[in-house]
Amino acid sequence: MLQVIFKHYPIIKYIFKNTNTYLFWCQSLITMKKDSFEPGDLIQVTTLSEEIKGTFLPSNNKEMLSLKLPSGYNLSIKKSEIKAIKILEKHIPKIEKTTETKIRKELPTIIILHTGGTISSKVSYKTGAVSAQFLPQDIINKFPKLKEIANIESRLISNMFSENIRFHHYNLMAKEIEKEINSKVDGIILTHGTDTLHYTAAALSFILEDLPIPVILVGSQRSSDRPSSDASLNLISSARFIKETDFAGVAICMHQSIEDKNAVILPACKTRKVHTSRRDAFKPINSSPIAIISEKIEFLTKDYSKKENKKLKLKTIKEKLKIGILKAHPNMLSREIENYNSFDALIIEGTGLGHIAVEKIDSESSENEKILNSIKKLSKKMPIIMTSQCIFGRINMDVYSPGRKLQEAGVINNNSDITTETAFIKAAWLLSNHKKEFYELWNKDLRGEINNRLLPEHYLDDTN
Amino acid sequence: MLDYKKLGFMCGLEVHYQLSTRKLFCHCPNLVHDSNSISYKIQRNLMAFEGESGKKDIAAEYEESKNKTFIYEGSNSSSCLVELDESPPFPIDQGALKTSIQVAMLLNMKIVNEVIVMRKIVIDGSNVSGYQRTTLIGRDGFLETSKGKVKIPTLYLEEDAAQKTSKTKDTVTYNLSRLGIPLLEIATSPDLQDPEHAKETAYLIGMVVKSTGKAHRGIGSIRQDVNISIKNHSRIELKGFQDLRSIPKVIDYEILRQLKEKNESSHVRKVEPNLTTSYLRPMPGSSRLYPETDLKTIQISKEFLKTIEIPELLTERALNFEKKYNLPSDHAREIVSENIPFDYYAEKYKIEPKIIANLLIEAPKEISSRFIIKKQLKQKDFEFVFDNLENKKISREAAFEVLKDISLDIKPNLLKYQTISLGELEAFIKDLVEKNKGVSISGLMGDVMKRYRGSVDGKSAMELLKKYVR
């Protein structure tokens, strides 16, 4: 090896531009194998102009070496300017102490199942890396109030950003929940990334039929490594809700407003993320919250499923199903519909009361007629379900002629107020479990996904 | 007089300068003290989590132990969802970044290769998120002072905190308008030799920052912290100097206080208006930073650095003024540091530049120290005075009186200040001296000024008095 390097010295020198860096890399090649430094090690870097001490960090930039200075700031050093590196102190990873928490018989048992996302993330202050945490002790250390409410258990079932979730993961979560119910927990908190949390809430509502205990989905919009995280209020409120009420079934627990005051329990099938970043991003759609949690817990409805002696039936979703969602927009092409030819169902998120361009109004709009024909063809193969991109309100395809044409073409879901996301889940679930009765069950309210009486208050609060 | 060498005096500065660009991580304007009405109030709590050392940070824990609820008041004119920690930050403001690099260059620093924004945990509520965003821009610089080089190890660009407006037993209320304003933090090594040296260094750093033309002005735009220690005593940080002129006095008082204290541990003290200090909080721990995961790292390439011009130092500009117009050095420095358009007037009027500088700098100060001002002096007011001065319609003394009248919103009567002939003055003084035999010169001078203030030149009056009083 050395011989090779010396033989090609002029060329290598040219490549490395100057001798010092060349010698450094030669040295590194020799020394790194037996004595390489790893993230967390305290090292001393000698550059062309100075000596810098710091903790070695992993870096995304190949040309830079990243150091955490004694001041706590991170510094990037150009590798091409480094002459030598000396390890001052090897990093010895801390062994996490697992202390047994005493079980208090007078308290209920709640298990926190983690699926990743912002709420269960933990930053390594040493390396800056973000990882998931799920040890019961970690959770209790972080949110000590939890152990006054219940005996807390905690475990990770999968670790992902929620946008990566597939049908498989709904089934996985449901099976893990079933296991916990069999081992007699009093309630389950499922921590979840917020992006698709409302899809999961709907999916679990359908899959977990006759759920005898509460399963509360909790997310956070500010990661729990931040002092200002919303995770604390959301987790503690959900634990209190499980302990102090007779609610059974799936629900969501998040902030009611941008203040750290009240949390809100939201219906699993009638909620949507409507803000990219606010901590009160989740709002009930065409519905009211189930309960508000402040110092006390106040139910806003009496119409919720209660803890009874029910026998859980697991009705999973077929993982190979292909369900599409298509958003109607101006200047649509019939090809956009035809793309779904091989699918099992299509949700069209229409405009207004439930429309998509299907009428030729002049010589420039004949494409619209093609769209109608494509829908007609497609609806012979699969259910085509109309929802509205208005988000709030009900579908009515009787008011205007395009709506009537769409119904004639086989589009369903007239007069329904189901959300696009819940419609997507319901379609997959019905095709998996009740394919023959699909059209009959579609219009039936199975899990609180349909509200036939919209009240003025079932809309955005105009004070916000 | 204290013997600083004997005391083992060690002193370093940490100077904070607000920049006048938009806020550092959002598009809100820099209003600092937003006088618009409060649009909303929101309530929050903060929690301290494990720090880098695996322990909760001492200072952080101390704050948490207070178990406070924080109330934030915001105006729609000066804060948005970013300040409320309800929306992720925008990329760092390019103007503020550029200014910080200019300052680092002027301080002979090494500029970082990558701008890595860090989160510094601060859980006293002054940062809604519970951390301050801060980034290292320059390292390893120095500043020339009259007592040699002072090392400047670090320059950070960070966001300013919200301002505390009130507190109760369980709550602390903050106003959000200041939160997010760009702040330069410049630290010196503990090389400062005595309190006067500390003052000089703070002044020089200020001149460097102001040279960029992007230093924010007004109350609270500059904040100096002074770290001091003397032999056998712990290091103490003094916070909250507004006026750098008070630095030497505060340090002396603090040394005297420390000499009386024994076994005191390191902590932070607040400077009170009477220049004494009071306990503020324990010294923050060192391990309280981790990367801001919401922001990308910014590469600082050589090409980018080449596009940044190095501004002319105000100290150099001041020196040029001093030489060119034969000004006293303190006036020259004040002209550049306060951005007074002296050269405009000096080029326009055939008046001795010293007199122009004196009227521009000293007159407004003296008027405001003696009277309650009703109107700020504007360019047209100075032009009015300089026009009359140039045409010899009023005397130098009268110029001051006219400016005073304008400040007090009184229409100046120029006739009153019309210059009188030396003959007329001599006649008056002769008569005055005869009528008041035995009265001292200074007493008589008072009478002369009472009659002719603004119309005569004091020096000639004094000479005439000396002539007749025997």
Q: Report yes or no: A189 and A154 within 8 Å, Cβ to Cβ.
A: no
Is-catalytic flag, A98?
no
3-class secondary-structure state, position B280:
strand
Query: Residue B429: its pLDDT value, please?
Result: 86
Beta-ladder partners of A190 = A113, A217
Both structure tokens of A7: 């033989």
Over its C-alpha atoms, chain B yields an Rg (Å, rounded) of 27
Determine the residue of chain B that is closest to A64 in CA distance.
B113
Which of B181, B288, B115 minimizes the C-alpha distance to A227?
B288
Question: Which range among A113-122, A137-146, B422-431 shows the weakest confidence by mean pLDDT?
Answer: A113-122
Amino acid at B362: E
- State yes or no: is A194 an active-site residue: yes
Q: Could you tell me the CATH superfamily of domain A109-314?
A: L-asparaginase, N-terminal domain (3.40.50.1170)
> A228, B129: Cβ pair inside 8 Å?
yes
Chain A residue closest to B70 (CA)?
A: A260
Q: What is the pLDDT along chain B (470 residues), one digit of tens a residue?
A: 788 999 999 999 999 999 999 999 999 998 877 778 899 999 999 887 654 444 555 666 666 556 789 999 999 999 999 999 999 999 999 999 999 999 999 999 999 999 999 999 888 899 999 999 999 999 999 999 999 999 999 999 999 999 999 999 889 999 999 999 999 999 999 999 999 999 999 989 999 999 999 998 877 788 889 999 999 898 999 988 877 888 999 999 999 999 888 788 889 999 988 888 999 888 776 657 888 989 999 999 999 999 999 998 888 888 888 999 999 988 998 888 888 889 899 999 999 999 999 999 988 888 888 888 888 888 999 999 999 888 878 888 888 888 988 988 888 877 777 767 777 888 888 888 888 887 888 888 888 887 777 677 778 788 888 888 76
Domain boundaries for CATH 3.40.50.40 within chain A:
323-442
Q: In terms of CA atoms, which chain A residue is nearest residue B41?
A: A259
**pLDDT value of position B53:** 46
Q: How many CB atoms lie within 10 A of CB A179?
A: 13
Q: What is the ipTM of this complex?
A: 0.87
**Average pLDDT over every residue of A168-186:** 96
Sign (positive/negative) of CA torsion A371, A376, A380, A382?
Answer: positive
Comparing CB atoms, the residue among B81, B85, B286 nearest residue A228 is B85
Q: Which fold has domain A323-442?
A: Rossmann fold (3.40.50)
A292 compared with B312, residue with greater pLDDT = A292
Q: Does domain A2-89 have CATH number 2.30.30.520?
A: yes
User: Which residues from B are below 8 Å from A95, CB to CB?
Assistant: none
Query: A73–B136: do the CB atoms touch at under 8 Å?
Result: yes
User: What amino acid is encoded at B216 in this protein?
Assistant: H
Binary contact (B121, A227; C-beta < 8 A)? yes
Q: Angle between the A197-207 and A420-433 helix axes, to the nearest 10 degrees?
A: 30
Q: What angle do CA B358, B360, B366 make, to 5 degrees?
A: 75
Least confident of A43-52, A53-62, A424-433, B96-105: A53-62
| Angle, alpha carbons A270-A275-A279 (nearest 5°) | 90
Q: How far apart are CA A56 and CA A120, in angstroms?
A: 26
Which residue type sits at B416? K
Q: What is the pLDDT of residue A37?
A: 86
Q: Within 10 A of A249 (CB to CB), how many other CB atoms are there?
A: 24
**What phi and psi values does residue B171 have, to the nearest 5 degrees?**
-130, 155
- A452-456 contact pairs (CB < 8 A, 24+): A452/A417, A454/A286, A454/A393, A454/A394, A454/A417, A455/A288
Residue A464 confidence class, pLDDT cut points 50, 70, 90: very low
Residue A412 β-bridge partners: A385
Query: Contact A226/B131, CB-based, under 8 Å?
Result: yes
- Neighboring chain B residues of A279 at a CB cutoff of 8 Å: 86
- Angle formed at CA A403 by CA A399 and CA A406, multiple of 5 degrees: 155
Q: Look up residue B295 and give its two tokens.
A: 């922001």
pTM of the full predicted structure?
A: 0.83
Alpha-carbon gap: B264 to the closest alpha carbon of chain A (Å):
24
Amino acid (one-letter) located at A413: N
Position with higher pLDDT, A355 vs B54? A355
Of A27-36, A435-444, B184-193, the least confident: A27-36
Secondary structure of chain A as H, E, C letters: CHHHHHHCHHHHHHHHCCHHHHHHHHHHHHHHHHHCCCCCCEEEEEECCCEEEEEEECCCCCCEEEEECCCCCEEEEEHHHEEEEEEEECCCCCCCCCCCCCCCCCCCEEEEEECCCHHHEEECCCCCCEEECCCHHHHHHHCCCHHHHCEEEEEECCCCCHHHCCHHHHHHHHHHHHHHHHCCCCEEEEECCCCCHHHHHHHHHHHEECCCCEEEEECCCCCCCCCCCCHHHHHHHHHHHHHHCCECEEEEEEECCCCCCCEEEEECCCEEECCCCCCCCEEECCCCCCEEECCCEEECCCCCCECCCCCCEECCCCCCCCEEEEECCCCCCHHHHHCCCCCCEEEEEEECCCECCCCCCCCCCHHHHHHHHHHHHHHCCCCEEEEECCCCCCCCCCCCHHHHHHHHCCEECCCCCCCHHHHHHHHHHHHHHCCCCHHHHHCCCCCCCCCCCCCCCCCCCCCC
A260 given a catalytic annotation = no
The residue annotated as part of the active site, out of A115, A127, A191, A194, is: A194
Give B-chain residues touching A79 at CB under 8 angstroms: none
Closest CA–CA distance from residue A110 to any residue of chain B (Å): 23
Q: Which of residues 248-307 of B touch A (CB under 8 A)?
A: 286-291, 293, 297, 299
Question: Any idea which of A270-274, A332-336, A429-433, B359-363 has the lowest mean pLDDT?
Answer: B359-363
CB-facing half-sphere around the CA of A373: CA atoms within 13 A? 9
DSSP string, B40-95: EEEEE-------TTSS--HHHHHHHHT--EEEEEE-TTT--TTTTTSSPPPSPPHH
Residue range(s) occupied by CATH 2.30.30.520 in chain A: 2-89
CA proximity to A187, closest of A237, A142, A143, A140: A237
Each residue of B385-410: b (16+ CB within 10 Å) or e?
bbebbeeeebbbbbbbbbbbbbbeee
Residue A30 has pLDDT above 60, yes or no: no
Structure tokens at B190: 């503990």
Query: Is B291 within 8 Å of A128 when comparing Cβ atoms?
Result: yes
DSSP one-letter code for B37 = P
Using alpha carbons, select from B322, B296, B313, B379 the residue that is nearest to residue B345.
B379
Residue with tokens 């007037």: B345
CA distance B375 to chain A (A): 43
Query: Which of A71, A78, A118, A146 to mutate: most B Cβ within 10 Å?
Result: A71
Task: Give the torsion through C-alpha atoms of A318, A319, A320, A321, to 10 deg.
Answer: 60
Residues of A in contact with B134 (CB under 8 A): 73
User: Cα torsion at B455, B460, B466, B467 (round to 10°)?
Assistant: -100
Which residue from B minimizes the CA distance to A78?
B113
B30, HSE (Cβ side, Cα atoms, 13 Å): 25
**B418 near B455, Cβ under 8 Å?**
yes
Whether A316 is catalytic is: no
- Find chain B residues with C-beta within 8 A of A50's C-beta: 140
Q: Show me where the domains of chain B are located.
A: 4-306, 314-417, 422-468
Helix axes B314-325, B353-370, angle to 10 degrees: 120
Provide the pLDDT confidence category of residue A28 given band limits of 50, 70 and 90: low
CB B107 within 8 Å of CB B101? no
Strand, helix or coil for residue B132: strand
Catalytic residue, candidates A47, A118, A127, A419: A118
Angle CA B13–B106–B16, to nearest 5: 35
3-state DSSP assignment of residue B275:
coil
- pLDDT-based confidence at residue A216 (cuts at 50, 70, 90): very high
CB A133 within 8 A of CB A120: yes
Upper half-sphere CA count for residue B371 (Cβ side, 13 Å): 17
- From B138, which residue of chain A is nearest by alpha-carbon distance? A75
Average pLDDT for A196-225: 95
Beta-carbon contacts of residue B352 (< 8 Å; ≥ 6 apart): none
Closest C-alpha among A229, A219, A115 to residue A161: A115
For chain A, give every residue range classified as CATH 3.40.50.1170: 109-314
